[in-house]
Structures are given as C-alpha cells and as structure tokens.
C-alpha cells in the first residue's frame, strides 16, 4: 500500500506487511548451515564439511553451489581451495527448526 504525501512522493504505510518468501531447507542443507555457523575457518572447505558431516562429497558440493546461488553462503578462494562462510541472508532459524523436528 503506497500513499502520496503533500510533496507528491510515494511513501509506504507503516502497517504494510512485507511478504517473505517461504524458505525450504533440506536436512543436509540445514546440517551444512549449522556446521558453517559453528566451524573454525580451517574446517570450512568442502572436503572437511563432507568428512565431518558424513555426507557424500558430490552431494555436498551440489548443496554448496545451490546455497551460494541462493545467497546464503559465499565462497572465498584461498590458494587453490574454496572456503565457505555464511552471509547475513542465511536462514539459520529455519535450519534449526528442520534439525529439531
């Protein structure tokens, strides 16, 4: 809902609800997000994530690519390896609810 003020500039109403898209996080994706939230920097490589969480490496790489595309994580190149870290848009509350359920 937008309204025009006296100067003719559109403003948004205070009571306007912002619709948030429903975020769906898989169980393995939730495990990876929580791992990246708690792991130290030298353990944030795809090989280490795969080993520690006991998830197949190919599936881990696919999930990391998908999360990177969604904007939940970002990759940092260090030498010839890519290290991942969380962004501010990572759905940690949804991931936690998936793990608890």
Note the pLDDT tens digit of each residue in 3-24. Answer: 555 666 655 555 444 455 677 8
pTM: 0.76
SS3 11: strand
Residue 44 above 50 pLDDT?
yes
Determine the pLDDT at residue 63: 95
What range defines the domain where residue 84 resides?
Answer: 27-100
What element of type H or E holds 32? helix 27-38
Does residue 94 lie within any of the structural domains?
yes
Give how far Cα 29 sits from Cα of 7, 42, 50, 53, 63, Å: 48, 20, 12, 11, 7
33 close to 86: Cβ distance less than 8 angstroms: yes
pLDDT tens-digit map of 45-86: 999 999 999 999 999 999 999 999 999 999 999 889 999 999
Residue 1 domain-assigned?
A: no
Residue 73 in domain: yes
């Amino acid at each position: 809902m937008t309204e025009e003020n006296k100067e003719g500039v559109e403003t948004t109403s205070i009571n306007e609800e912002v619709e948030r898209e429903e975020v769906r996080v898989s169980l393995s994706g939730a495990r990876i997000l929580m791992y990246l939230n708690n792991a130290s920097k030298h353990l944030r490589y795809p090989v280490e994530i795969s080993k520690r969480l006991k998830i197949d490496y190919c599936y881990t790489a696919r999930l990391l690519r998908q999360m990177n595309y969604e904007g939940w994580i970002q990759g940092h190149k260090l030498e010839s390896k890519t290290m991942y870290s969380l962004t501010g848009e990572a759905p940690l509350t949804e991931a936690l609810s998936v793990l608890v359920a």
